[in-house]
Amino acid sequence: MSELAQNPRIAETALYRPVKAFLQSQGFDVKGEVCGCDVVAVRGDEPPLLIIAELKLSFTLELVLQAVDRLRCADLIYLAVISSRKGRDRDSRVLRLCRLLGLGLLAVDLKLSTVSILVEPSSYRPRVDLARRARILQEHANRRGDPAEGGSTRRPLMTAYRQRAIACAEAIGGGVARPRDLKHLAEDAGQLLLRNVYGWFLRERPGHYRLSDHGAAMLNDLKSNKHQ
């Protein structure tokens, strides 16, 4: 294992930006933490090319198991680890294993922010999980921008659903709104307000909603974070 990988202050998110830049250079639209996948890259329209990359500080069995789990819903899979001189990423047995499974292997130099391809992914394909593939592509398409770094585990995940809920909360502000007033922000505004997954909304009267104290506090936190 490299010295960087042994450093407890380094998180897996440190690999995200170099890997994102690597995939963007190939024309992919890249977003982090989509449906449990560290990195999701999409290119093209019909059918889109879907690449998933999983990030780890070093090559582990857990990383391989994650990749095998995602083989059924992606076109190509990359494993990305911190580059080392004598670590497992340089072990010829690891390279052979990746080739056998059809997995690509990337070595990330955090000091230089560069990515080296150790193994190219191949087109080995198990039976495709079409439903899961569709969920990943839909979440990637619906998410505004790229609000979550791949490898994040200790912060609330900014999903497309959460983004729509925040947009509705910001529109309501200190007033009262009806679901139809928020349709331009969220097609599912009615269900979003009714389900109230995050506890941000209160029904003032039938068909009219305002923010709860929790919702108002959430908006204040967002404003504070933007000014930091």
pLDDT number for residue 209: 96
Query: Are 164 and 138 found together in one domain?
Result: no
39 and 152 Cβ atoms separated by less than 8 Å: no
Q: Looking at residue 128, which CATH number applies to its domain?
A: 3.40.91
- The reply to whether 202 falls in a domain is yes
pLDDT number for residue 172: 95
Please choose, from the candidates 146, 153, 152, 151, the residue with its C-alpha nearest in 3D space to the C-alpha of residue 41.
146
Instruction: Please tell me the distance from the alpha carbon of residue 161 to that of residue 210, in angstroms, as a whole number.
Output: 19
Query: Are 127 and 100 found together in one domain?
Result: yes
44 forms beta bridges with none
pLDDT number for residue 89: 86
Query: Are 113 and 212 found together in one domain?
Result: no
Neighbours of 138 (CB within 10 A): 13
Query: Are 194 and 121 found together in one domain?
Result: no
Query: Are 133 and 195 found together in one domain?
Result: no
- The reply to whether 155 falls in a domain is no
Low-confidence ranges of the chain (pLDDT < 50): none
pLDDT number for residue 194: 94
Please choose, from the candidates 79, 78, 76, 77, the residue with its C-alpha nearest in 3D space to the C-alpha of residue 58.
79
77 and 121 Cβ atoms separated by less than 8 Å: yes
Query: Are 129 and 93 found together in one domain?
Result: yes
Range of 7's domain?
3-142
Query: Are 12 and 115 found together in one domain?
Result: yes
**All residues at 6 or more sequence positions from 215 whose CB lies less than 8 Å from its CB, including other chains:** 169, 172, 198, 199, 200, 201
52 and 40 Cβ atoms separated by less than 8 Å: yes
Query: Are 102 and 131 found together in one domain?
Result: yes
- The reply to whether 147 falls in a domain is no
pLDDT number for residue 58: 93
Helix, strand or coil, per DSSP, at residue 182: helix
DSSP sequence for 16-55 = HHHHHHHHHTTT-EEEEEETTEEEEEEE-SSSPEEEEEEE
pLDDT number for residue 14: 93
Query: Are 39 and 103 found together in one domain?
Result: yes
Query: Are 170 and 71 found together in one domain?
Result: no
- The reply to whether 151 falls in a domain is no
Query: Are 115 and 39 found together in one domain?
Result: yes
Query: Are 82 and 176 found together in one domain?
Result: no
Per-residue pLDDT reduced to its tens digit, 21-66: 999 999 999 999 999 999 999 998 778 999 999 999 999 999 999 9
For the entire predicted model, the pTM comes to: 0.71
Q: Looking at residue 204, which CATH number applies to its domain?
A: 1.10.10.10
Boundary residue ending a domain (142, 174, 196): 142
Instruction: Please tell me the distance from the alpha carbon of residue 126 to that of residue 44, in angstroms, as a whole number.
Output: 22
Count of structural domains within the chain = 2
DSSP sequence for 166-180 = HHHHHHHTTS-B-GG
- The reply to whether 185 falls in a domain is yes
